[in-house]
Amino acid sequence: MNTNNLRKYIIGIGTIACTGSVSPLLCSAQDQNTSGNNSGKPNVLFIAIDDLRPVLSVYGDNMARTPNFKRLAKYGVTFTNNYCQFALSGPTRASLLTGVRPDNTGVWSLQGNFRTNNPSLVTLPELFRKNGYETVGMGKIYHPLDDKNYRDDPQSWSMPYIKTPAPTYVISNGRKATECADVPDNAYEDGIIAEKGVEMIKSFAASGKSFFLAIGFKKPHAPYVAPKKYWDMYEREKMPLAEYQDVTSDPVVYAYHPSNELKVYSDIPPFHSYEDTKHLDVATQRRVIHAYYACVSYVDAQLGKLLDALESQGMAENTIIVLWSDHGYHLGDHGLWNKNSNFETATRTVMMISAPGMKRGSYTSNVTEFVDIFPTLCELSGIKAPTYLDGKSLVPVLLEPSKKVAGYAFGQYNRGQVNGYSIRSSRYRMVEWVKDFRTYVPFDGKEIMGVELYDYENDPLETRNEARNPEYKKVLEKLQKELHLFYKAQYKKSKIFNTYKLFPVEENSLEGYDNFS
């Protein structure tokens, strides 16, 4: 099939509605081909990266040595303004993989599981499996759960989850934040994951089966350990420190956290996170940032091995590739480390999508969200999407990157009983911190504990909270109106799942302050 025909084919099958007598909620998962014969459909290579913010050359970071991300960019479209729904592994992954927002998965921390919380949900790989794909997972795709019955979500895969055991450290004694060891790539787990991924690609090339191959790399998540050759790509004294390390003007206390994930390591001296009295010392900041970049280059090299395999097996043309980092990351900005916030660096993510017949080597600044991945992959593969999904298909953008889609991204984070909902437009972000509220209960506006407003055109580093600045009154009113319309729409939608009965607000502790992954 030539490119034009394939494009028409994809557009045609992508517009099929979910119809029939079965429940519209689940029809896509239940009424389609499960025979395993799926020849002719595009394969899917689904690559997750843990805790990667866009410190990549392809995203304009001149320090980063990341040629394989740039190589991947030539395959398809790079999304420069994509946002996660929750800057923490458990919630963002549960949301992305089910295509609904955290208030519909019931996963707001590293505890809990969408399968038990909301049994109506179908995951992306599960849906592909039920549509005849071989679905295989390895590395970190779902957040690992304590309950081994649900760990790695067996329902998603057509063969047992591929294990890739490896030591966390090669030379360190004790729990260190950084390690530089002169070892080969496969001394750490991501090198083993890449090897297993290459094996699977070769195996699929031999079998000819359509596949959904999910590969989750575990760096640059802490601890920041990588082979020495990746450290050697950078000079420690040139590593960039965060330009703005203080709190904003007119700060809202709920916006911040104590950066406990970094503090647990024995080689990190005591510091006071966002408070300006005692930041992490400069030498340690440079070491951590050096290590983070080394880890990113290490992952870049593993990505290169997957692309080599796809190309050498002649499968690059007929494989959809989706690469995503589960959320962004603080590297000292706002005095914060790790993620766990609604700020730009914690919520802006890497997302790159390539597909047969779609634009190649293009970029889009459209504001998009992770919940958009699910319907996009369904449309690209001709699979009927569940009707309840919270995102929108990005196929129009993949065909024409300048085409505008919905203009807002919505996210959330919670501090104890206070939940912060965020709306991001192409220029502004507003965050509303509300006590004892989730979007599946009616919003009455009585318990708003704080409001933030940032103008990225005039203040890209979020140094000024403009929420109480009279000059921004109209901007604030507009965004607040849009956010409250979002609450209303989500509340209406929650009736599909009967969400309030699944997880009543008063019975949930809204924990999540000190989660680490």
Residues that bind Ca ion (CB under 5 A): 50-51, 89, 326
- Least distance (Å) between residue 177 CB and Ca ion: 16
Number of Cβ within 10 Å of residue 334's Cβ equals 27
Residues 6+ apart with CB under 8 A from 96: 84, 85, 124, 324, 326, 370, 371, 373, 374
Q: Which residues, 6+ apart, have CB-to-CB distance to 470 below 8 Å?
A: none
Q: In this complex, which beta carbon is closest to Ca ion, that of residue 386 or of residue 512?
A: 512
Nearest to Ca ion of 161, 324 (CB atom):
324
Between 143 and 429, CB nearer to Ca ion: 143
Q: How far is CA 194 from the centre of its chain?
A: 20
Smallest distance, Ca ion to C-beta of residue 126, A = 21
Q: Is 230 helix (H, G, I), strand (E, B) or coil?
A: helix
Which residues does 280 contact at the CB level (< 8 Å), separation at least 6?
262, 268, 269, 271, 288, 332, 337
By CB atoms closer than 10 A (0-12, 13-18, 19+), residue 458 is: exposed
Closest CB 329 distance from Ca ion, rounded Å: 9
Nearer to Ca ion, 89 or 113 (CB): 89
Residue whose CB is less far from Ca ion, 51 or 179: 51
Please, what's the largest Cα pairwise distance for the chain? 65
Of the two residues 89 and 366, which places its CB atom closer to Ca ion in the complex? 89
Distance between CA 370 and CA 357 in Å, rounded?
Answer: 22
Q: Shortest Cβ distance from residue 220 to Ca ion (Å)?
A: 10
Angle at alpha carbon of residue 418, lines to 417 and 423, rounded to 5°: 145
- Taking the complex as a whole, the smallest distance from the CB of residue 204 to Ca ion amounts, in Å, to 27
Q: What would the two tokens of residue 408 be?
A: 């807002």
> For Ca ion, which is the closer residue by CB, 298 or 440?
298
Number of neighbours of residue 255 by Cβ within 10 angstroms = 23
In the complex, least distance from residue 371 CB atom to Ca ion, rounded to whole angstroms: 17
Nearer of residues 51 and 452 to Ca ion, judged by Cβ: 51
In 3D, which of 283, 408, 438, 413 has the Cα closest to residue 338? 413
CB of 273 closer than 8 Å to CB of 335: yes
Cα distances (angstroms) measured from residue 501 to each of 24, 265, 434, 496, 506: 20, 40, 21, 11, 11
Q: Using CB atoms, what's the residue nearest to Ca ion?
A: 89
Please state, in angstroms and rounded to a whole number, the distance separating the CA atoms of residues 61 and 52: 13
Nearer to Ca ion, 220 or 375 (CB): 220
Nearer to Ca ion (CB atom), residue 88 or residue 180: 88
For the bound state, the minimum distance from the C-beta of residue 327 to Ca ion, rounded and expressed in Å, comes to 6
What does the chain come to in residues? 517
Strands (DSSP E) along 310-382, which ranges? 319-325, 330-331, 337-338, 348-354, 362-369
Q: To the nearest whole angstrom, how small is the minimum distance from the Cβ of residue 326 to Ca ion?
A: 4
Between 89 and 414, name the residue whose CB sits nearer to Ca ion: 89
Is 169 exposed, middle or buried, given 0-12, 13-18 or 19+ CB atoms closer than 10 A?
middle
The sign of the torsion formed by the CA atoms of 126, 129, 133, 138 equals positive
Peptide bond into 220 cis (omega under 30): yes
Taking the complex as a whole, how short is the minimal distance between the CB of residue 51 and Ca ion, in angstroms? Answer: 4
As given in the structure block, the two tokens for residue 441 are: 């209960």
Min separation Cβ 115 and Ca ion, Å: 20
Quote the least distance from Cβ 397 to Ca ion, whole Å: 25
